[in-house]
Structure 1
Amino acid sequence: MSAFANLPLLRRFLAVARSQSLHQAADALNMTQPALTRSMHHLEEEVGGALLDRSSRGIQLTDLGQLFLPSAKEIIAATSRAEADFQQRRNKAATCVRISAAPVWTSTILPPVAAAMASSAPDLNLKMTRGTAAAAIEDLKTGDIDMYCGGISDTRALPSFLVRRSLYRSSLAFVVHEAHPLAQEIFAPVRLMDFPWLHYFGDVDVTSCASDWLVEMGGRTLEPAVVCPSVLSALDFLHDSPFVTCLPVGFCQSRIGAGLVSLRHAEPIRVFDSGLIYRRSFDGVTGFDLLLDGILEVLRAKNFDMADRT
């Protein structure tokens, strides 16, 4: 038998690699340490080399073990995903949807959807976290989440088991606090140079987008005065401060964007689609269909730009 076909051994190997201890891995797997040790010897025989370096300091992966690890992870993740997808299709009803979403979605779109689902589909459990598209796609591949809600400007091909669906169009705008001097003026690109620029890390490099736009308008590239680890931390800096940054226009309509205003300029800095990436096995599943209907209803009610996207 190929080492990669022996799923129990792969799961035991991953437990050892994760804990770096045969004793801890055995406890986690609810088996004895001698039995786990025999399993690892058996796996090494099938692979044809040592995967583990055993010493008084604990367990470390050998070079061969490091090569073997990502393949083992991929096979176990694919198996878990296939099992979940089969049960999803068999039952034709979702009982839990794990969602990773961008801040505009978690603050503005999903809360009323979740409230409606609580009465219309009480057996459906929604588990939500905030995240970026890049991180969510990796979590979708490993089966850690079922759906991502947010910007989907990256159009690279997805694995066949994932679906990308655009629901509305958004754009980046220059954003300041409502008491900021620029909020009281007729917008002039050159005035942006007079205030400190705020950069944050996300799916889009906002500083590059804004700089490219400004250069086209006759300005110059921007140099960040402050760099924030996320868009949420950037929001804290914007309130009652002289900072300027770029945000999706939806932020100014959301609860977390209260007190912020977007500066009016004829040409958008960047236009992008926002929507869903989800596991294909959820198509046609009762609870998931209700969730999608609820999202579309909220988007329409809040006047998002949904032209030609549904």
Structure 2
Amino acid sequence: MFANLQALRRLVAIADCGTVHAAAEMLSLTQPALSRSIRLLEEEWNVQLFERHPRGLRLTPFGERACQHARHLLRECQLAEDDLTALSGGGMGLIRLAGAPVWMSTILPQVIVDMHELYPDLQIQLSSMKFTVALEELDNGGLDIYCGGFQKTEKMPSFLVSQPLFGTRLNVVARKGHPILSRPLARLDPLLDYPWVSYMSDRAYLGMLMDKVQAATGQRKEAVVFCDSMLAALNLLNNGNYLAFLPSTFITLMPGFDLQIISTDIAEVGFDSGIIFRRSLERSLVLDAFQSSIRNRLAEGSFDPLLSTQAD
């Protein structure tokens, strides 16, 4: 099954399009030819890959797993082809890149400029993405490199490599001049008196903070704004009496916001930030240039040391 890349492409196309008709149009094939390819795959494995429903076709559980492997293998083959083409002096191909908000807003735009100075014809597909979604996309071949925060204890599949680059800490954040700054914070009660903003990727961390507040005061505070946009969250903090529990890099690296960290007696929560990439990219020209540019850019900024190094 996996020796026939053409058949795998057809399997993925039907899964993506939802119907044989739409997939056949996308691949410039006749419907009978496409249906025959899938039938041969089903006969080879003696299983059903798709089941019919009112709007078209849906993958069976076996089909889901087969399609996941197919996406992974197709992307690995494409990366290998792109790497060899680049080494032979040809084009650079396409790299699929995603990042967490701080990376997307401050680090990656500069790195992409550096990359295109070296490789003007390199195509980059850039997306903003949460860590959990990025892992799924890395797994199914939809992504090549993810830049963002992750815990050292998180195990990666063997075909992925994680490379921590700097540490970041979560802190209570408010605008300069916020009323809470005039109150003593030896006790945590003042944290209950103001509205909280919960940013998309840090909702679990806000829950951890409120667990500690509740342990100390017997009360907790729920967020009144749940925000999927980093810029919107920072603007809310900048213009109102809101509080948030955010990475320190939001404050040190994002220009144009008059925010500050609020010191409390709560023990610090932190994690490392870096890149996760497909192992097949190791020693490729694209990854070498990407890593070099990131290190140069990080050396120019104010970044905390790796937390995992300190823990060791």
Tell me which interval the TM-score lies in, with the shorter structure as reference length: 0.7 to 0.9
* Structure 1 counterpart of 2:196: 197
Q: What amino acid is the match of 1:252?
A: I
* Structure 1 counterpart of 2:67: 73
Q: Secondary structure at the match of 1:134?
A: helix
* Structure 2 counterpart of 1:38: 36
Offset from partner CA, 1:3-51 (integer Å, 9 cap, x none): 5655434433443343333322221121112323333444444444655
Write the mapping of 1:68-217 to structure 2, written as runs, cut at 5 A.
68-87=62-81, 90=84, 96-153=94-151, 155-185=153-183, 187-188=185-186, 189-202=188-201, 205-215=204-214, 217=216
Q: Secondary structure at the match of 2:60?
A: helix
Distance in 1 of aligned mates of 2:184 and 2:265? 12
Deviation at 1:192, TM superposition (A): 0.8
Distance in 1 of aligned mates of 2:127 and 2:246? 20
Aligned-CA RMSD value: 3.0
Write the mapping of 1:259-270 to structure 2, written as runs, cut at 5 A.
259-265=258-264, 267-270=266-269
Of 43-52 and 249-258, the range deviating more from structure 2: 43-52
> Share of identical aligned residues, percent?
33
* Structure 2 counterpart of 1:59: 56
Distance in 1 of aligned mates of 2:48 and 2:115? 52
Deviation at 1:216, TM superposition (A): 5.6
Deviation at 1:83, TM superposition (A): 0.8
Deviation at 1:277, TM superposition (A): 0.7
Q: What amino acid is the match of 1:201?
A: M
8 Å contact kept, 1:26–1:33: yes
Distance in 1 of aligned mates of 2:83 and 2:215? 51
Distance in 2 of aligned mates of 1:111 and 1:4? 37
Q: Secondary structure at the match of 1:106?
A: helix
Q: What amino acid is the match of 1:245?
A: A
- Judging changes above 3 Å, is the alpha-carbon distance between structure 1 residues 38 and 287 closer, same or farther for their aligned structure 2 residues? closer
Q: What amino acid is the match of 2:155?
A: A
Q: What amino acid is the match of 1:79?
A: L
Of 246-255 and 94-103, the range deviating more from structure 2: 94-103
In structure 2, the gaps of 5 or more residues are none
Give the length in aligned residue pairs. 303
- Judging changes above 3 Å, is the alpha-carbon distance between structure 1 residues 84 and 66 closer, same or farther for their aligned structure 2 residues? same
Deviation at 1:286, TM superposition (A): 2.9
- Judging changes above 3 Å, is the alpha-carbon distance between structure 1 residues 51 and 135 closer, same or farther for their aligned structure 2 residues? closer
In structure 1, the gaps of 5 or more residues are none
Selected match of 2:14 from 6, 13, 16: 16
Distance in 1 of aligned mates of 2:96 and 2:18? 29
Q: Secondary structure at the match of 1:271?
A: strand
Of 166-175 and 289-298, the range deviating more from structure 2: 289-298
Q: Secondary structure at the match of 1:239?
A: helix
8 Å contact kept, 1:177–1:183: no
- Judging changes above 3 Å, is the alpha-carbon distance between structure 1 residues 58 and 199 closer, same or farther for their aligned structure 2 residues? closer
Deviation at 1:142, TM superposition (A): 1.8
Distance in 2 of aligned mates of 1:37 and 1:290? 43
Offset from partner CA, 1:136-194 (integer Å, 9 cap, x none): 11111122222111111262221112111111111000111224212455545221111
Of 158-167 and 187-196, the range deviating more from structure 2: 187-196
Offset from partner CA, 1:92-133 (integer Å, 9 cap, x none): 756543221111112222233333334344444443221111
8 Å contact kept, 2:192–2:220: no
Distance in 1 of aligned mates of 2:219 and 2:77? 54
8 Å contact kept, 1:210–1:222: no
- Judging changes above 3 Å, is the alpha-carbon distance between structure 1 residues 48 and 118 closer, same or farther for their aligned structure 2 residues? closer
Q: What amino acid is the match of 1:128?
A: L
8 Å contact kept, 2:75–2:141: yes
- Judging changes above 3 Å, is the alpha-carbon distance between structure 1 residues 165 and 28 closer, same or farther for their aligned structure 2 residues? same
8 Å contact kept, 1:74–1:142: yes
Deviation at 1:273, TM superposition (A): 0.8
Distance in 1 of aligned mates of 2:220 and 2:181? 21
Of 169-178 and 114-123, the range deviating more from structure 2: 114-123
Q: Secondary structure at the match of 2:148?
A: strand
